[in-house]
Amino acid sequence: MIGYLNGQYLPQENIVISPEDRGFLFADGIYDVIRSYNGKLFRAKAHLDRLSYGAGALQFNQTDFGYLEPVCERLIQDNRLYRGDAVIYMQVTRGVAPRSHAFPPIETPLTVYATARPFQPHQQEAETGIRVILVPDQRWARCDVKTIGLLANTLAHQRARTSLAAEGLFVRDGAVMEGTHSNVMAVFDGKVITPPRTNYMLAGITREFVLRLCGELSVPFLETPLYESDIRNADELMIVGTTVEVTPVIAVNGENIGSGEPGPLTRKLQMAFHRSVGFAE
Ligand code: PDD
């Protein structure tokens, strides 16, 4: 595979990053993941804008990452990923400097790294739906920044896997915020409910897109807190995200949601999403 590091395209095995990189030492970095469908990037600008937002929040010396769109396109070409699904991973750190909590000199170049890999969609999960568990949200208070500091996410996700669930949903102060790598939506009485954007959740690009689909399909929706105590009464539940797209959730903590089968509104949004990808931008 060919990857990208600081302006160069290199075979993956030749890409070397210093152990003094602040991403390695402090998780001082941000990332994003863009899906491509048959070689076409899905919502690339929105992902790169989010990367810029994160770079601003972390006070990086550079915050415009629009130039990465052609980089992603070239990675698709160089890795011959123009058919089928692929994911492009991009990571930007504050660069290389001797370990010190203080930021390095402002002119220290950021480390900018990207890879493109084929992606196998989770067809079975999309078809039958998944089981999830609720997990305490032990993350920091800037979950709106897509940082590479993902230990709370990976621990929670692993806990879900150990419980034979496919995803964990974070609960903070009685409210379900989002998944470990997805956003969450519920259906109550024909209305889609999803937690509002705050510093405690990531503003998912897929979430935004699915809400737009709701508008187009005249499906009522509301951005309002989703309480842990209400979730078992939801008629339907789903997770949405770049890798999971729209995936039905059929059980939470071993209790069925609705009939215990993917719900009709979830299916409608899932189908609309699948129709849209590829021609969405
Ligand atoms: N994660 N919430 C969290 C915590 C996430 O990590 C993600 C995506 C989402 C969904 O956002 P989007 O629709 O923009 O992909 C929500 C990526 C895919 C990852 O970490 O691999």
pLDDT at 278 over 70: no
Testing ligand 1's pocket by substitution, the residue of 30, 31, 32, 33 carrying the most ligand atoms inside 8 A of its CB is 33
For the CA of 183, the nearest atom of ligand 1? 16
> Ligand 1: does its nearest atom lie under 6 Å from the Cβ of 241?
yes
Kindly report the protein residue whose alpha carbon is nearest to atom 3 of ligand 1.
181
pLDDT tens digits, residue range 100-147?
999 999 999 999 999 999 999 999 999 999 999 999 999 999 999 999
Report how far apart the first and last C-alpha atoms of the chain are (Å, whole number). Answer: 27
pLDDT tens digits, residue range 145-185?
999 999 999 999 999 999 999 999 999 999 999 999 999 99
Q: Do 88 and 37 form a contact (C-beta atoms < 8 A)?
A: no
> Ligand 1: does its nearest atom lie under 6 Å from the Cβ of 242?
yes
Mean pLDDT of all residues in 67-78: 98
Tokens 């939801």 appear where? 234
> Which of 100-107's residues contact partners 24+ apart within 8 Å by CB, and which partners?
101/26, 103/59, 104/22, 106/61, 107/61
Mean pLDDT of all residues in 219-234: 97
Structure tokens belonging to residue 182: 């997805």
What does the pLDDT read at residue 279?
A: 53
Percent of the chain residues topping a pLDDT of 70 = 99
Percent of the chain residues topping a pLDDT of 90 = 99
Mean pLDDT of all residues in 6-23: 98
> Ligand 1: does its nearest atom lie under 6 Å from the Cβ of 178?
yes
> Could you tell me the domains of the chain?
2-118 (3.30.470.10), 123-276 (3.20.10.10)
Active site residues: 146
What does the pLDDT read at residue 281?
A: 44
For 253: left if phi > 0, alpha if psi spans -120 to 50, otherwise beta; the answer is left
Helices marked H in 58-122 — which ranges? Answer: 68-78
What mean pLDDT, rounded, does the chain reach?
Answer: 97
Distance CA 204, CA 130 (A): 20
> Ligand 1: does its nearest atom lie under 6 Å from the Cβ of 91?
no
pLDDT at 26 over 90: yes
Distance CA 50, CA 258 (A): 34
